[in-house]
Chains A and B, each alone.
Chain A
Amino acid sequence: MKVPSSVVPYIQVAPLALVLLVFFGIPLVTVVVVSFFDYVNFQTVPAFMFYNYEEVFSSGLTVTLYLTMLKYSVIVWLITLIVGFTVSYFLVFHVRSLLWKIFFFLVCTVPFWTSNIIRMISWIPVLGRNGLVNQTLMGLGLIDEPLDFLLFSDFSVIVAYVHLFTLFMVVTLFNSMARIDPAILEAAVDAGASRWQVITQVVIPLTKTGIALGSIFVVTLVMGDFFVVKIMSGGQSSSAVYAMWNEIAMLQYPSAAASAVILLLVVVLMAAAILRVVDVRKELSG
């Protein structure tokens, strides 16, 4: 039997497209539909009403939640961007041997393939009241009492996020920078540019796509975070997703669905804002 060659791509792409349709497309629609449903006595009832959204918007808690999450994403985005840029810049332009470059790059990416929860928990014995940092500082005589702000605070939340997500910046920025022809940098130097000017006027514009991709990863990961805020803040604050989880645990599916839709809209808007700057598809296929 001979398959006409124009049909081949459809057969090849079918399994992936089907899985995404069934487990991504349909659930997406379902959640949106259910967000307009009613619930009575823990029972979800088909309806078309905006009550779930009114409920979410009328609660001052939601606003606080989203403001907290936005604050975390902006701070984490800035730190991961600066750290990721510096690390990639070093790897691409300062490490001369290709073998070392690949090795160091892998050193940066290996944690990605290990458990996020374990990596997050690993900060507890480091930052805790009797943790390594406090023990060291007290041993050196720099402080008399353990620092309390280190763990279960905004500080530890941000440290955990930066620890978990910086590698997304490193990978995307490394990828962009590695495509820059070193001759361009030499030309800039020959034309009298200072080190700083080379970075701001040559390297940054040429890595715009990498910056955009990395930013989308970091921002959406922080906004979609489930447990980091909850555990690393010691239960003091909670993420938007965690609030949703509470509604699910109380079987209030329609209101959980409404929260989910709002969260998705916020994430999509943030990603779209970043994409306005860059055409990502061009970057990926180019």
Chain B
Amino acid sequence: MAQHRKRPWTFYVLATFFALFVLFLYGPMLAIYILSFQGPTGGLTFPMNGVSLHWFQALFEQQRTGDFSGSFSRSILLAFLVMICTVTFSVMAGLAFRRRFFGASAIFYMAVASLVMPGLFLSLGIGLIFRVIDMPTNWFSSALGAQLTWSLPFGLLIMFAVLSRFDRSYEEAARDLGATNRQTLQYVVLPILFPGLIAVALFGFTLSYDEFPRTLLTVGPGNTLPLEIYAMTTTVTSPALYALGTVTTVVSFAAIILSLGSIAIIQWRRGGRFRK
């Protein structure tokens, strides 16, 4: 039907605008990925002086560019911790919000406030508390909590969106067939919500992996990767900085492709089964 309708001239104007927007989004990023393969004598801008992996090697020489391997593994571990907590806590909270309970709107507004809170404010507050109770800040304690104040609200909002599309009659059917609450959750609700859970996991992982201001004053003795990158922007003036950018982006893209890919496969298989 719509396929054969002639497109209005505005379509072409808007399509051009959209293409330019995509170029604006990805163009500069592409530039630094290309520049990270700069030859050993190359500089921070084009043209390329040969092609090499020199600057990636430079990353692993600790003295020159700071503690790359340490901060990298710390960031990955922390991101996994945040991801697991975010998925578990937001799914539970999402299920709770389907019913009316005392304090529901207070918790909702706290989550929204936590989302728009300037990150360094929280960082300062958490840092001060750990000072008062005389506990050392560390990435797996204070920084984990600080990052959760950022990822949990996102997780909760995604769960709202996911659950608003969830048909409760599946649950009722399971109960009618004699399933216990636990069985209903395990065999009916969670499998149906699974693509949504992957989306929450993606947010949990990447929001933590790239978090900066909340981590700044709560991370303790060892840096996470974004803090390391920030330090590098002022001290390192070589393409090693771009190499680091390429490496972190590869990790982010791996997470994105893995999660979006599995969501797509699940949806496709479900579509197929329903059609038969």
Contacts and interface: CB of A to CB of B under 8 A. Distances in A.
A21 B104 CA distance: 14
Measured as residues with beta carbon below 8 angstroms from the partner, the interface class of chain B is 35 or more
Nearest to B18: A90
A111 B25 contact: yes
Given A226-B120, A226-B212, A241-B213, A121 B226 contact: no
Nearest to A261: B121
Interface in A225-277: 226-227, 231, 241, 244-245, 248, 253, 256-257, 260, 263-264, 267, 271
Nearest to B234: A231
Nearest to A33: B128
Contact of A122 (B28, B103, B111): B28
A17 interface: yes
A34 B93 CA distance: 32
B46 A132 contact: yes
B96 A260 contact: no
A47 B168 CA distance: 55
B26 to A, nearest CB: 8
Contacts of B46: 125, 130-132, 135
A208 to B, nearest CB: 18
A72 interface: no
Contacts of A34: 128
Interface string A144-184: 00000000000000000001001100000000000000000
A94 B15 contact: yes
A131 B99 CA distance: 56
A115 B88 contact: no
B45 A125 contact: yes
B265 interface: no
B181 to A, nearest CB: 8
Nearest to A162: B24
A281 B108 contact: yes
A224 B114 CA distance: 13
Interface string B194-215: 0000000011001001101100
Contact of A31 (B110, B124, B160): B124
A163 B28 contact: yes
A285 B242 CA distance: 42
B92 A245 contact: no
A23 B146 contact: yes
A107 interface: yes
B2 interface: yes
A49 B203 CA distance: 42
A121 B14 contact: no
A36 interface: no
Contacts of A13: 92-93, 96-97, 101, 104, 107
A12 B90 CA distance: 9
Interface stretch (B51-59, B65-73, B169-177, B250-258): B250-258
A15 B121 contact: no
B96 A10 contact: yes
A104 interface: yes
Cβ-closest 5 pairs across A and B: A27-B125, A224-B118, A12-B96, A23-B145, A122-B28
25 contacts: A16-B92, A20-B110, A23-B146, A24-B113, A27-B121, A27-B122, A30-B129, A87-B18, A94-B10, A107-B25, A114-B253, A118-B244, A119-B29, A121-B233, A121-B242, A121-B245, A122-B28, A122-B31, A126-B28, A130-B45, A163-B24, A216-B116, A226-B216, A227-B212, A281-B108
Interface of B: 2-3, 7-8, 10-11, 14-15, 17-18, 21-22, 24-29, 31-32, 35, 44-46, 85, 88-90, 92-93, 95-97, 99, 101, 103-105, 107-108, 110-114, 116-122, 124-126, 128-129, 132, 145-146, 148-149, 152, 156-157, 160-161, 164, 202-203, 206, 209-210, 212-213, 216-217, 226, 229-230, 233, 241-242, 244-245, 248-249, 252-253, 255-256, 260
